[in-house]
Amino acid sequence: MPELPEVEVIRQFLNNQILHKTIIDVIVHNPKSFQGDPSLIKHQKVESFSRHGKQLSLHLSNNITLLFHFKMTGQLVCVHRKKTILGHPTPTLNNQPLPNKSTRINFKFSDGSTLYFNDQRKFGWVKALTPADLLEYQKTLGKDLLDPSFTPNYFKKQLQKSSRSIKLVLLDQTKFAGIGNIYANDALFLSGIHPQTSANSLTSKVATKLYRHLLDITRESISHGGSTAKDNKYIHPDGSFGSHQYHFRVYQKEGEPCLQCSTCIERIKIGGRSSFFCPSCQRLI
DNA sequence: CTTCTTGTTACTGA
DNA sequence: ATCAGTAACAAGAA
């Protein structure tokens, strides 16, 4: 469930915690979670981080990239070795020992710290990719929401190309990368757009409004450290929680009063996924 | 026990 | 070509 803001916050944490550290060992507990040759990344230094949509990249000194996708329940937890009078105590996450039941991979660093990739449902993955493989792999991803080339005009052009519902188009990672269910629902609410509206029927003015809300809400969530919602397992790499869930407008608020008009928030399925909206503020054109 | 939930890919049939 | 619908993946909650 980590979407763009959550992955961006993870990127920022890791940039403070493991930049320039050297990986000395990789322990793969669940083979399906790690694709590629683990030996490719041993004894390599973490040189930089980047993010494209919901995917996080760690660029290593031998030009190999470790590409992460967290899907619904993936976590990265970084634990620093702290020597005490008793030696090296067991690493913990919220007072539970690590690795835990959901730990799929450990990355050990030369300074004694460990990065745990936890993923309850095993949908997430890590890939060790060469530059050519990375390019090949990411070529189907659309422009990242925070990329300067993701302009209002580009956004509107993409919407014009599709008669599908705006909700489905927002979630289409080949058009623009990073929008997930949380931010699609809330941006449509803030823009007064019913999620079943055809993408190509939005007026230029309304599309511009939606563009602005998408970016605003993304930046707002990043400043709140992302969303640790009811069902997701999102946490920061130091074990702390995000707080944007306290700022949801309609997401996961079925049956609650609309913030603007007190009408009951409804939930419908679009493309098999839950969509939350206010039937009064978001009218179908 | 069954049903539902999630993001993404793969597949089907219209 | 373009789309809607659905199964698959996996684990846990209700």
Tell me the H-state helices in chain A.
Answer: 4-17, 131-138, 152-160, 166-171, 181-191, 204-223
pLDDT at A283: 87
pLDDT at A85: 61
Are A160 and A200 spatial neighbours (Cβ–Cβ below 8 Å)?
yes
Per-residue pLDDT tens for A65-113?
Answer: 999 999 999 999 999 876 666 666 677 787 778 899 999 999 999 999 9
Alpha-carbon distances, residue A262 vs A78, A86, A173, A186 (angstroms) = 42, 57, 33, 16
Mean pLDDT across chain A, nearest whole number?
92
Q: Among all strands, which nt has the closest C1' to A273 (CA)?
A: B6
> From the C1' of B7, which residue's alpha carbon is nearest?
A71
Q: How far is the CA of A181 from the C1' of C2 (A)?
A: 23
Quick one: three-class SS letters along A173-233? Answer: CCCEECCCHHHHHHHHHHHCECCCCEHHHCCHHHHHHHHHHHHHHHHHHHHCCCCCCCCCC
Percent of chain A, pLDDT > 70? 97
A136: confidence class by pLDDT, cuts 50, 70, 90: confident
Which of A 131-170 have CB under 7 A of nucleic chain B?
A: 140
Is the minimum distance from the CB of A82 to strand C below 7 Å?
no
Q: How far is the CA of A234 from the C1' of B8 (A)?
A: 18
- Enter the pTM of the model: 0.95
Q: How far is the CA of A214 from the C1' of C10 (A)?
A: 31
Average pLDDT over residues A203-223: 96
Which of A 30-59 have CB under 7 A of nucleic chain C?
A: 32
Average pLDDT over residues A225-252: 90
Which of A 127-186 have CB under 7 A of nucleic chain C?
A: 162-165, 168
Which of A 90-119 have CB under 7 A of nucleic chain C?
A: 101
Secondary-structure breakdown of chain A: helix, strand, coil percentages, each rounded to the nearest 5 = 30, 25, 45
pLDDT at A183: 93
Catalytically active residues of A, by annotation: 2-3, 54, 273
Residues A228, A236: Cα–Cα separation, whole Å: 9
Average pLDDT over residues A11-25: 96
Residues A236, A27: Cα–Cα separation, whole Å: 21
Q: How far is the CA of A200 from the C1' of C10 (A)?
A: 36
pLDDT at A205: 96
